[in-house]
Amino acid sequence: MKTIGVLTSGGDAPGMNAAIRAVVRTSVFYSKRAVGIYRGYDGLIGGETNELNAKSVKNILEMGGTILQSARSDAFRTPEGREKAALTMKSQGIDGLVVIGGNGTFTGAHLLHEEHAIPVVGIPGTIDNDLFGTDMTIGYDTACNTVMECIDKIRDTANSHNRLFFVEVMGRDAGFIALHTGLATGALEVILPERNTTLEDVFASIERGQSNQKTSNIIVVAEGNKIGSTFSIADAVKQRFPEADTKVTILGHLQRGGSPSCADRINASQLGVAAVEALLNGKTDVMMGMVTGKITQTFFQQAIFNKAPLDMELVRMARILSI
């Protein structure tokens, strides 16, 4: 293998740049050519590439977003799109690929490997932390810290006005951000995609808060929860408790930005080195991960189809601590 390509795909996540840097510098360290592919699989299909060297990735370790940009490619979902991508790799002499992203990224990577025998290794990069085969995806720690800071600020104003805030956080399929930040900010309740929380449960938590004379309350709502939109939950609560001063804050895409945390930079750096070394050792069709401090490899299909488990014990503890 002489040339290694790298791309970022799906939702961007803080720490993706640290991973790109690690992939490029490790390739150069082993005397390989490194090629950056822009805008994810769309750029691979269109041949949007640029050779990168150790200097091209200087001063990006601390930057949020991705210098290669990202995309959710519809074209790559088709066999024709993947055929074009394989042709780009052939014509540009790219022998192996490192893809940084989440579920959708690895679904595409698996098909590229299967249909065109292209060596491809993945690095888990998503704020959602919803990939099986790694303790922490790149971007998750930074996103949690961002959300925690925001909720702390909301708590200040909630306290000053005796208000009940519903704070919606990202996570359409997974409640990692909601559960962990709920615990870290002392939320009264967390509403998760993984649990069948009902409006009655939410009402009961509010009643519990009232009987304990809590002056401010935060309810963290994961966007993919099973009850409904955060505004509809807040409306139902207002109808049940007309005296409650309710407010809704949707944190949205600010959760995806910002300089990566120390943990994300280290995770991204380790996985970037490991991904290139895995490719050079003939590995393919696998996602690199870090499990209890050790580098692991998980087949793409396993990483995609197995659900990353949420620690339900934390739900119980959050409840104990929110009295």
CB of 57 to ligand F6P, least distance (A): 24
Amino acid at position 253, single letter: H
| Residue 197, number of CB atoms within 10 A of its CB | 20
Asked if 135 is an active-site residue, the reply is: no
Dihedral of alpha carbons 35, 2, 298, 61, sign: negative
* CB-based contacts of 284, cutoff 8 Å, min separation 6: 96, 113, 118, 119, 120, 121
Q: What's the min distance (Å) between Cβ of 249 and ligand F6P?
A: 16
Catalytic residue among 12, 42, 128, 285: 128
Q: Where does this chain bind ligand F6P (CB under 6 A)?
A: 11, 102, 126-128, 170-172, 223, 256
Nearest CB to ligand F6P, comparing residues 96 and 133: 133
* Beta carbon nearer to ligand F6P, 256 or 265: 256
Query: Are residues 167 and 247 in contact, defined by beta-carbon separation less than 8 angstroms?
Result: no
In 3D space, the residue among 308, 264, 223 whose CA is nearest the CA of residue 66 turns out to be 264
CB 271 within 8 A of CB 254: no
Supply the minimum distance, in Å, between the C-beta of residue 211 and ligand F6P. Answer: 35
147: helix, strand or coil:
helix
Of 201, 200, 177, 151, the closest CA to residue 11 belongs to: 177
Tell me the closest approach of the beta carbon of residue 51 to ligand F6P, in angstroms: 29
CA distance 165 to 239: 15
Are the C-beta atoms of 112 and 79 separated by less than 8 Å? no
Q: Please, which residue, 128 or 264, has the CB nearer to ligand F6P?
A: 128
Which is nearer to ligand F6P, 27 or 129 (by Cβ)? 129
Residues known to be catalytic: 128
